[in-house]
Amino acid sequence: MKRQRFVSKGSLSRMFQEAAEAWKRQDYQQSIETLERAAKLDPANDGIQLDLGRAYGMRYDYSAAERCLEKAVRVASRKVEALTEAGRRCHEFGSPEMAQRYFGQAAQEKGATADVFVQLAEINERHARLEEAIQLAEHALQRDASHPPARLARARLDRLSGRLVEAESRARALLDDVAGDPWLRARAWYELGEILDRMARYDEAMEAFLEAKVIVRPAAVNHAATLQRIQARVREMEEAISASALERWAAAAESLQPWRRFAILCGHPRSGTTLLEQVLDSHPGVMTAEETHILHDEAYLPLSRGFATEASLLEVLESAPISRLRQSRENYFRFTELFLGQTLGDKMLVDKNPALNVLIPAAVRIFPEAKFLIALRDPRDVCLSCFMQPLSPNPVSSAYLSLEGTVRQYLSVMGFWRTLLPRLRNPFLEVRYEQLVDDLEGTSRKVLEFLGIAWDDRVMRFDEHARTKQLRSPSYAEVSQPVTRRAVGRWQNYRRHLEPYVARLEPMMQALGYA
């Protein structure tokens, strides 16, 4: 019998609103405490426990998250639904192992939906377990032969397995049937584009990508406006972050002891950051954090509290007292260790995230000991690859809805780096994707030497290491295989489509040595 609720629905609604508002202003502890109070007032409410589990997970307290999710499953009247929702919450806070466990339990329950098996298939896919993923996708289709996400997953798995004719047939059949879900239809067009690209039918592939963009574009209007504001702020930072400011911050470095072994791996998305990260992560003396928001949310954002929203990054960083910078450092490493599930000890931490490019000044201010690895790749290949990605709508992905917008965003991101480079006091190394795939050992040795780390042969088997992890990057499939040159010079297959924008890229190509 379900336990009695001790509070009205109206009171619970107000508490949920209070928790949401606290989360929005980054008062995470207040949000969690509010949800905890709600849980005590309505102990049989599995929805509260699911939300509380998500909140703890977003704060990297995975043991507390699991405790709440387990309670949600215990008190739920419909166990299979609670297990499925628990798995989804785990996906939201980035714990694929926990997600797999809950989805796996859901799959054993009577009434498990096709979606449960699709989720499990995608987890196995990201671990490069393609045959297991195919079996799970087939289980989903056995439950619902018309299930669009299962059909899309099955087409993608055929492509990844090299069964391109079958993959094309599945993708086209899905497009003939799907009408009600714009995003799923767009993903089907993206998938068809990838399939046709693999079949060397490049003009047809471009047509498929453009069909996807048409569907996504209406949902990205507001995001595009946000991106314009972000790009304007980047231009302001280029002018404001002077060599003298960086010099002043370097002079204060002695006050931020103890120094840590720390490097940031950034660059523009699709420039080879994931490949380089997995090479480094396979070294026993290195730990990498892949595409988290910890540096922004736990190190920089606390410094900006109390400032107007329009305050510049320079204003925030110049005003930061040493005590708050120390707290930001402590927060960053504490939350990173929680995210990684282990202490760093004397290992080198490499924080990999292309989005950190525009946060380099904040990293310099908070972590004066930081070294920077900047991934470079032929700008034409980078822009083409970004354009082809099936990314959900957000401010940055809104740039990739046209080749012109993609080029503009690329120049904004890399222009900021090239402007900052001669002013930077911290050690940096630019690493070319083309050199990494052509000479994996030689380039890896150079990178490890820059980081002050001895050579280890295990970096040459990075692909085996990558298959033991679930990667967040869209490059997960590529980095679980040995290096190839397939993506080098890929832009030439789409030369006539890129040609109108190459002139705008040429100054950057010359600056980076790609002209």
Which pLDDT score, from 0 to 100, does residue 480 have?
A: 63
CA dist., res. 473 & res. 375, Å (int): 15
Same fold: 113-200 with 220-396+415-488: no
β-bridge partners, 159: none
- Range 113-200 has CATH code 1.10.10.10: no
Which pLDDT score, from 0 to 100, does residue 220 have?
A: 92
Domain boundaries, the chain: 1-107, 113-200, 220-396+415-488
CA dist., res. 62 & res. 39, Å (int): 18
Superfamily of domain 220-396+415-488: P-loop containing nucleotide triphosphate hydrolases (3.40.50.300)
Dump pLDDT digits (tens) for 27-82. Answer: 888 999 999 999 998 999 999 999 999 999 999 999 999 999 999 999 999 999 99
Identity (one letter) of the amino acid at 223?
H
Which pLDDT score, from 0 to 100, does residue 473 have?
A: 58
- Range 1-107 has CATH code 1.25.40.10: yes
Show the beta-strand stretches assigned E in 225-335: 262-267, 286-290
User: DSSP string of 407-424?
Assistant: HHHHHHHHHHHHHHGGG-
Listed in sequence order, the residues at least 6 apart from 412 whose beta carbon sits closer than 8 Å to its beta carbon are 231, 234, 235
Q: Which segments in the chain show pLDDT lower than 50? A: 1-3
User: How are the residues of the chain apportioned to helix, strand and coil, as percentages rounded to the nearest 5?
Assistant: 70, 5, 25
Dump pLDDT digits (tens) for 176-215. Answer: 987 778 999 999 999 999 999 999 999 999 999 999 999 9
Whether the CA torsion 333, 461, 284, 266 is positive or negative: it is: negative
Which pLDDT score, from 0 to 100, does residue 2 have?
A: 46
Secondary structure (3-state) at 376: strand
